[in-house]
Amino acid sequence: MANYTVPHKAQLQEGLRPGSVIRVRGTLPPNANRFHLNLLCSEAAGADAALHCNPRLDSGEMVFNSFQNGTWGREERSPSLPFQKGQPFDLLLIITDDGFKAVAGDSVFHHFPHRMPLALVRLLEVGGDVQLQSVSVL
């Protein structure tokens, strides 16, 4: 099983389109507090983020947001957090015509609408308190 260095950044050469699926598999350390998955528009510091997905184990919630022109958008919070400290996880982000569907286990636990064009997304970044086994775009 491959292990990735965190933070992990991957170029999205073909970009994303409706029907694309991002799959992140890993394990949360027993002392994990937070990790994040960002879909960035460039590698520059302070780059726009079409999606910031932030499981917060320290507060028991999942936060979704975007970052555009140096400013965070309005946070959306998922009522459930499908991750547990010390446990493996399998997170899917399914790109749809109107947003991102976050799936864990067999259920969609949040839908985050697009706030900027998918064509701008160039980079996938995963960081924080996480041990990554695989990151793939299907």
**CATH label of the domain that carries residue 18:** 2.60.120.200
Q: Is residue 3 part of a domain?
A: no
Encoding tokens for residue 80? 């459930």
Residues 6+ apart with CB under 8 A from 83: 28, 55, 57, 89, 91, 104
pLDDT on residue 1: 46
Q: Is residue 2 part of a domain?
A: no
Q: Is residue 57 part of a domain?
A: yes
| Tens digits of residue pLDDT in 62-92 | 999 999 999 999 999 987 788 999 999 999 9
Question: What is the pTM (predicted TM-score) of this model?
Answer: 0.94
Three-class secondary structure of residue 118 per DSSP: helix
CB atoms within 10 A of CB 7: 14
pLDDT on residue 2: 57
How many structural domains compose the chain?
1
Q: Is residue 99 part of a domain?
A: yes
For residue 103, pLDDT beyond 70: yes
Structural domain including 56 reads 8-137
Q: Is residue 36 part of a domain?
A: yes
pLDDT on residue 80: 79
Residues 6+ apart with CB under 8 A from 126: 4, 6, 7, 8, 24, 35, 36, 37, 38, 132, 135
For the ranges 1-5, 18-22, 117-121, 128-132, the lowest mean pLDDT is seen at: 1-5
In DSSP notation, 43-97 reads SSTT--EEEEEEEETTTTEEEEEEEETTEE---EEES-----TT-EEEEEEEE-S
Q: Is residue 95 part of a domain?
A: yes
Residue type, 134: S
Tokens 């409706």 correspond to 18
For residue 54, pLDDT beyond 90: yes
Q: Is residue 74 part of a domain?
A: yes
How far apart (Å, rounded) are the C-alpha atoms in residues 41 and 90?
24
- Of 55, 108, 51, 107, give the one whose Cα is nearest residue 81: 55
Q: Is residue 83 part of a domain?
A: yes
For residue 3, pLDDT beyond 90: no
